A and B are shown apart, each in its own frame.
Chain A
């Protein structure tokens, strides 16, 4: 399954709904290009919805980290929403669970940007 990304705006937050596999190759490129385009367009509050991400490998994890640091370096914030158990476990094993701001509730996640 290829990866798809679509974005929407809610209360000033750009939510990116991702689905499919974030792996070396197409999936990683889609994520990278999507976040890069949003940053270029000036979006500073980005919430990646990973609820329909079925699979992620070390390259995909690296792409999430890269997205996080590039948005932060541009003065913005990137947070994660709706991790599946597989993605949750991977972020925990790699100690990245403490790096990312992660939420299971979209409304709470949106509010957390506006504090």
Chain B
């Protein structure tokens, strides 16, 4: 099975966010996702990297963000890791709740979950790691093509 793995160690800056977004868009296109899906994957990675830079590392120049891509024929897995104080996802408010609808922030993780097929958070020491998986259309979560079912 062919697999492509790429990993970037990035500074805690907005330039890193743009770099991660651009890199995943290229990887997603090569992985067989259509233009709309590439846009959604790129946005999910942008949001995850913004969280890592802004809320995780808080722009700390001594901390790094690690972004990794693993592309196999049926899926693309992206991991974004920061060195911040950690994130308790249970405390993230629902941005669709009426009382939160007009809040300025709090939609990033919601969009990641909306656009990716699987999303997992892992508490590291230090930091948070988010793993996002997108399956190529027609493949199920075990990597089998629907046509083969």
Q: Mark A9-47, 1 if CB is under 8 A from B, else 0.
A: 000000000000001110000000000000000000000
A93: chain B residues at CB < 8 Å are 111, 114
The complex places the Cα of A90 from the Cα of B101 at a distance, in Å, of 13
Chain B facing A: main interface SS = helix
Q: Mark B36-69, 1 if CB is under 8 A from A, else 0.
A: 0001000100110010001000000000000000
On whether A65 and B111 interact (CB within 8 A), knowing A94-B95, A95-B96, the answer reads no
CB distance from A65 to the nearest CB of B (A): 6
Size of B's binding interface in residues, CB under 8 A: 20
B102: chain A residues at CB < 8 Å are 65, 68-69, 99
Residues of B within 8 A of A (CB): 14, 17, 39, 43, 46-47, 50, 54, 95-96, 101-105, 107-108, 110-111, 114
Pick 10 A–B contacts, CB within 8 A, sort by A: A25-B14, A57-B46, A57-B47, A62-B107, A63-B104, A68-B102, A86-B39, A94-B110, A95-B101, A99-B102
